[in-house]
Structure 1
């Protein structure tokens, strides 16, 4: 009985993992703008996508404190491009600026997303 239960759990785990790995986000190819609220004010970005990935993120307007924003603007766009997702960690010591940038990125990504593909 115990062996059967363990086999069942293993099969369930494998199925769960395979379903997570097979999901691909499909984007409309193009350039999109997004806006988020940082620590001091608005952060506006331009994001470029192809069908399956985020290619480029540029900050086009911001009102943030330069010395703090520089850390965030150097780190978060690289993480987003690498992970192909706006679900990234904030930069320590610059939480609100990080959240504002991530909000702007997710705003642009929501405009670019077509669907989740389970193939």
Structure 2
């Protein structure tokens, strides 16, 4: 699957969904989880992930928690209350979109009476 065009518009939804499911995650962990869940079909690059995370944070959807792990500082991202609500809305929007696309791509055949 082409990584760039199909998932770019859904990247924030993917991030919000993962954080809603997992609670908090750091950047590399997000990329690995996406690879695992999609069996390597989607691979989110750092150049796309971090700008998306920064935008979600600037929009008040994410909080950052910094922890020291193995003598390194690691940023963990988690949803704010606003982020939780946005996640719910984005997932509902994506479900409607997928349903619409299925109706276009797999129309039900009408039986003649």
TM over 0.5: no
Give TM-score scaled by structure 1 length. 0.26
Structure number with greater CO (CA < 8 Å, separation at least 6) is 1
Relative to its length, the structure with more strand (as a share) is: 1
Give TM-score scaled by structure 2 length. 0.27
